[in-house]
């Protein structure tokens, strides 16, 4: 039950090549991709280029398709979500390719995998960034100093303003999981949980209007959800520098093992997970 987890690759083709090579060599049972997969979403919104569509077709679809042809019945289940830097306008492209059996798009979905259940969720709390496709209020309509509300900034798709105005991550997770037994659940999040070793940003000493910025930028709702519902495993990204600052890419939250595979240097950060023995996880920089 070897699984790979990568996230926040941001369209770096060399990292995808390394990932494809590792999949071919080690033949994991599953591969999890935690969002921010493409080149900049804002570039997609502010140019007439089809670069994101071309990247999806020429790099992602072609790369995984070649692996599927080579590995045949050894081809892994590929679960993925998008991140806050991936424009939502390209979501349908990922959904369409999922119908071809190349990967499984799991945002706001739950999917059976062997004896486990995989849940996906892309939204993050409000940030200072201007692309708002994948941002939600967290547990309330409070926004940290320096951050821009989901109702402002850019959106690549049209949705009812009420969705941006009143939806929260907390409510979304309650709807997604209801009263499910999560003891064998794997959660593929983009945001890390708040005030952990996985959400530490490089904001030390920075202030907005004389107010110190919080150095923890993860989701309160996700942190509370993990503490109260105790899934088996939660996978995260988004905060690239957290591991460099805290020295930890994983943390136990009660019984839940939580992992952040985002990386702030040039290597591919590949986390290897043994679902039958979570104590035997490892991280490689390739």
Alpha helices in the chain (DSSP H): 13-26, 41-46, 51-55, 62-71, 91-98, 161-166, 169-177, 220-229, 242-246
Angle between helix 13-26 and 62-71 (nearest 10): 10
Strands, E, within 168-255: which ranges?
185-189, 207-208, 211-212, 233-236, 250-253
Domain layout of the chain by residue ranges: 2-285
Q: What is the pLDDT of residue 42?
A: 59
Q: What is the C-alpha to C-alpha distance for residues 193 and 259, in angstroms, rounded to an integer?
A: 10
Residue with tokens 């995984």: 64
The model's confidence at residue 54, banded by pLDDT at 50, 70 and 90, is: confident
User: Cα separation of 84 and 238, whole Å?
Assistant: 8
Question: Does residue 77 carry a pLDDT above 60?
Answer: yes
Using pLDDT thresholds of 50, 70 and 90, give the confidence band for residue 82. very high
Question: How many Å apart are CA 18 and CA 280, to the nearest integer?
Answer: 22
* Cβ neighbours of 45 (radius 10 Å): 16
Strand partners, 104: 79
Contact (Cβ atoms closer than 8 angstroms) between residue 27 and residue 74: yes
Spatial contact of 91 and 45, defined as CB atoms under 8 Å apart: no
pLDDT of 49 higher than 60: no
Q: Rounded to two decimals, what is the model's pTM?
A: 0.95
Fold (CATH) for 2-285 = Purple Acid Phosphatase; chain A, domain 2 (3.60.21)
**pLDDT tens figures, 194-234:** 999 999 999 999 999 899 999 999 999 999 999 999 999 99
Q: How far is CA 258 from the centre of its chain?
A: 13
- pLDDT of 50 reads 58
Burial 201-227 (b: 16+ CB within 10 A, else e): beeeeeeeeeeebbbbbbbbbbbbbbe
Can you give the pLDDT at residue 163? 87
- pLDDT tens track for 229-273: 999 999 999 999 999 999 999 999 999 999 999 999 999 999 999
144-196 pLDDT per residue, tens: 999 999 999 889 888 887 888 899 999 999 999 999 999 999 999 999 999 99
| pLDDT, mean over the chain | 94
């Amino acid at each position: 039950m070897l699984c790979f987890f990568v996230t926040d690759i941001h369209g770096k083709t060399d990292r995808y090549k390394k990932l494809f090579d590792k999949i071919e060599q080690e033949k994991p049972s599953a591969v999890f991709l935690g969002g921010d997969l493409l080149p900049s979403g804002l570039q997609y919104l502010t140019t007439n280029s089809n670069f994101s569509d071309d990247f999806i077709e020429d790099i992602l679809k072609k790369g995984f398709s070649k692996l599927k042809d080579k590995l045949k019945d050894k081809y892994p289940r590929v679960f993925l979500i998008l991140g806050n830097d991936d424009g939502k306008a390209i979501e349908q492209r990922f959904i369409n390719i999922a119908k071809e059996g190349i990967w499984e798009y799991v945002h706001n979905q739950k999917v059976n995998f062997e004896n486990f259940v995989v849940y996906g969720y892309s939204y993050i709390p409000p940030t200072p960034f201007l692309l708002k496709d994948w941002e939600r209020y967290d547990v309330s309509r409070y926004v940290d100093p320096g951050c821009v509300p989901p109702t402002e900034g850019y959106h690549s798709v049209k949705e009812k303003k009420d969705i941006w105005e009143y939806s929260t991550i907390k409510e979304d997770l309650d709807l997604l999981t209801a009263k499910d037994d999560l003891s064998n659940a794997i959660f593929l999040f983009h945001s890390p949980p708040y005030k952990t070793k996985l959400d530490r940003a490089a904001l030390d000493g920075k202030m907005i209007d004389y107010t110190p910025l919080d150095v923890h930028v993860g989701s309160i709702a996700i942190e509370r959800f993990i503490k109260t519902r105790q899934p088996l495993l939660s996978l995260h990204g988004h905060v690239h520098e957290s591991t460099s600052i805290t020295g930890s890419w994983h943390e136990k939250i009660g019984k839940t093992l939580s992992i952040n595979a985002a990386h702030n240097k040039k290597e591919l950060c590949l986390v290897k997970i043994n679902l039958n023995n979570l104590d035997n996880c490892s991280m490689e920089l390739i």
